[in-house]
A = this chain, B = another copy of it.
């Protein structure tokens, strides 16, 4: 269900120059996060007790149509950030934490860089 787009991607954004392919994969996920509505949707899904949310509970939080919300959810899903399943009338969504974990790791400075780079104290 997850596309696991980042499973094989790059040792880390800050430790070595990215190649073009890894940069493309990674940019696609950051681009999905580069929208306030999608960030709010992701945070609503991720922070929900029980771990999943009906789209019927997401739509009322926004002054947007359900097709617009569904479009944003589709982009999050295609980026591997959330999973989804239709049950009867509604679609349910949940966080795919392996993707956010991977992003956090990719953004974390390698220990030697954190210690030696002058910029670390700028």
- Residues of chain A touching chain B, judged by Cβ–Cβ distance below 8 Å, are 1-2, 13-18, 20, 23-24, 26-28, 30-40, 42-44, 46-47, 50-52, 61, 83, 94-97, 100-101, 103-105, 107-109, 113-114, 116-120, 122
Contact = CB atoms under 8 A, between A and B. Distances in A.
The A interface is mostly helix, strand or loop, or mixed, namely helix
B16 A118 contact: no
Instruction: Pick from A2, A38, A39 the residue with the most CB of B within 10 Å.
Output: A39
Nearest to A117: B51
A45 to B, nearest CB: 9
Contact of A119 (B17, B27, B95, B103): B95
Contacts of A107: 100-101, 103-104, 107
Nearest to A39: B23
A-B complex: 4 closest residue pairs judged by Cβ atoms: A31-B34, A23-B36, A30-B33, A14-B46
A34 B30 contact: yes
A122 B108 CA distance: 24
